Amino acid sequence: MSSRVFKLISEEAHRQKYGLEMIPSENYVSANVLKALGSILTNKYSEGFPGRRYYGGNEVIDKIENYASDLAKKLFGVPLAFMQSYSGSPANMAVTMAVCQPGEVVMGLALSSGGHLTHGAHLNFSSIFYKAVNYSVGKDWKIDFVELEKLAKKHKPKLIWVGTTAYPYKLEYKKFRKIADLVGATLVADIAHIAGLIAGGVHESPVKYVDIITTTTHKTLRGPRGAMIMVTSLGLKRDPEMKAKIERAIIPGIQGGPHNHQTAAIAVSLEEALKPSFKRYAAQVVSNAKVLAKELGTISEVHLILLSLTNYGYGLGYQAQYALEEAGMTVNKNTIPGEPASPFYPSGIRLGTPALTSRGMKEKDMVKVAGWIKRALEEIRGLDLPKEQEKRKDFLKEIKEKLHKSINLKKIRKEVEAFAGKFPVPGIQ
């Protein structure tokens, strides 16, 4: 046994139990998911698909993968579900390969507007091997469908992504379908962030509007790190060869054997998501986010909040993330639409309620959390990012030292630790 590794795991367990995890793409899995993830299934190699493996000894693995697929089909109401993608980005890469030839046009929400790297961001495979066109949000921070339609008519994309990573509003799939039909594009919904909200019935499902769905399993769905690709009835009608195309893209296209322990753990989380208690959880996530957003002076319709810090000064995302971490609260710095500073030192933070809700926190607790956030953010007021790039490195080093010594942040941290310690974390004693 590596005493060093398990000592570090204990340190992380302490951090998780006595802190407030608010990165909206993070969550806590159940003890049963952890058990499956740490099982002997990790020992088996299973290249290929159920009934068509390159290795022997996969009779049980076939049953597990088929069972997981059946659960996904039942939960989301689709005829076809693939369970082998290692994570969200490989899933999106496989779908792009299945739908598009290199050099063809793909469209997705710009990273600066809350989109994802794999939807056509600069330096990502989706813009290196394909011609990427990005649509954006308007001044109201909502997707600009007028711009989207103009761009689609001009560039005739083969694939249009509808999916976000930092977008606090519900998605209007019907509008995307109309535009996709105008130009003959395959419409793919990346529901990584909102899969649990869809499964829980608090966000509209894209199933009747899109051709393909991709999702991670480790965000609001409360599963292990992994991903799924699902094809809708509309997608199969559009292209009866889609099943074979996606299979070829997965293997031999971009990966080898699946992670069987991961597949089993996903199956456990899908079983949990099919229970009535999960619907209550999803509703609570959204209710908590709405309260937290209101207390912070903004709006959320989903599980996450994108908070502008421009009222506190210039380029304060990094400083805010560090200050909140010193106070025992984990968020991530994030660009805001029309970012006035820098993608590396942005003007906002992204936070959410999935993990807090998994621990049993309710609306009244969000009021407390918002109070601590606002107190912590007062510590960065006036600590504006230098506009001269050469001054930033030394400035940020000084800021970290200043915030680390802050008496107010230390006081908040003690209050947060006393509060957080009262709420259980699955898998942590």
DSSP assigned state of 256: -
Q: Which residue among 45, 67, 169, 314 is the active-site one?
A: 45
Task: Please give the span between the terminal C-alpha atoms of the chain, in angstroms, as a whole number.
Answer: 20
Residue entry with tokens 């050469």: 390
394: annotated active-site residue: no
- Out of 177, 219, 290, 359, pick the active-site residue: 219
Name residue 249's amino acid: A
Q: Which of 17, 35, 44, 47 is catalytic?
A: 47
Residues 6+ apart with CB under 8 A from 328: 18, 19, 20, 412, 413, 416, 417, 420
Is residue 172 among the annotated active site residues? no
Point out the catalytic residue in the list 216, 330, 335, 357. Answer: 216
CB contact set of 398 (below 8 Å; sequence gap of 6+):
none
Q: What would the two tokens of residue 175 be?
A: 């509008």
Element (H, E) at 351: strand 348-352
Q: Is 219 a catalytic residue?
A: yes
Candidate list 17, 35, 225, 375, residue with the active-site label: 225
> Residue 45 catalytic?
yes
DSSP assignment, residue 254? I
* H or E stretch covering 94: helix 88-99
Contacts 24+ apart (CB under 8 A), 338-343: 338/139, 339/112, 340/310, 340/314, 340/315, 341/314, 341/315, 341/317, 341/385, 342/315, 342/385, 343/111, 343/112
Token pair in block for residue 370: 């918002």
358 vs 368: CA distance, rounded Å:
17
Catalytic residue among 21, 190, 326, 365: 190
Q: Which helix (H) or strand (E) holds 143?
A: none
3-state secondary structure of 139: coil
Residue 47 known to be catalytic: yes
Catalytic residues: 45, 47, 190, 216, 219, 225
